[in-house]
Amino acid sequence: MMIKLPTKIQHSKLLTAAVLAITLTACSSGPKVRSDQATNVNFSQYQTFSFVSDLATDRAGYTTLVTQHFKDAISAELTARGYRYVASDPQLLVNFNSNVASRSDTRTVSTLSYHHGYYHYRRGIVYGGFPVYNNDVSTVHYKVGTVNIDVVDAAERQLIWEGIAEGTLKQKDLEQPREAAARTVALIFEQFPKSAR
């Protein structure tokens, strides 16, 4: 019984597909999260929070579902840290924004094949042919999501902490926005300062 091995061209195409799959997997491993905070701020002095009246995600003049998903997730994170939601006169005000942008990457992978030309009869074990290098070019389209969360000292009207997450969106994130918002907010709040309470 003979086993048919892939040709060099088929092999190079399989290699290209594998490299692209690994690259895409690396890109979608999770969002990059960073944060910044004002110096000399003691977070233990704050006990209450609320949201700014005109949230950045409500540009259309009404509360969107995205806004509600983020408000629920942020409220859960702050409540778990001992803060209490109040409708009026809060010590902290929270604002947030989310954005989805389409991006494209062009990737080039060099492949090697062997050209025999006129000497095609020499193919086989004895002759190797002339190496020919080709570039396989592909364009990958994907969506990138960015989430910003701002925490403001309400009395001073000063930003005291911000958290930002940016990453490639998976199809699951687009199909389940509530769960995606909760996961992203939880990752951002891993960098929220611990209060001294």
The residue extents of the domains of the chain are 8-189
Question: In this structure, what token pair is assigned to residue 167?
Answer: 């990453």
Query: Fold for domain 8-189?
Result: Double Stranded RNA Binding Domain (3.30.160)
φ/ψ (deg, to 5) at 171 = -60, -35
pLDDT per residue as tens, the chain (197 positions): 444 544 444 433 333 332 233 233 334 467 899 999 999 899 999 999 999 988 888 877 788 888 999 999 999 999 999 999 999 999 999 999 988 777 777 777 777 666 555 555 555 555 555 566 677 777 777 678 889 999 999 999 999 999 999 988 787 877 888 998 999 999 999 999 986 45
Residue 25: its pLDDT value, please?
Answer: 35
Closest CA to 90 of 55, 54, 53, 47: 47
* Count of Cβ atoms closer than 10 Å to residue 40 Cβ: 5
Question: In this structure, what token pair is assigned to residue 12?
Answer: 């190079």
Dmax over Cα atoms in the chain, in whole Å? 87
> Is this structure's pTM higher than 0.75?
no
Output the CA–CA distances (angstroms, integers) from residue 126 to 11, 24, 115, 123, in the order listed: 21, 39, 14, 7
Is residue 135 within 8 A of residue 109, CB to CB? The reply is yes
Question: In this structure, what token pair is assigned to residue 178?
Answer: 């509530």
Residue 132: its pLDDT value, please?
Answer: 67
Is residue 160 within 8 A of residue 193, CB to CB? The reply is no
* Count of Cβ atoms closer than 10 Å to residue 53 Cβ: 8
CA dihedral 41, 43, 49, 55 (to 10 degrees): 50
Residue 21: its pLDDT value, please?
Answer: 31
Beta bridge partners of 134: 111
Is residue 107 within 8 A of residue 20, CB to CB? The reply is yes
- Round to whole Å and give the CA distance between 83 and 75: 9
Residue 24: its pLDDT value, please?
Answer: 34
Beta bridge partners of 104: 141
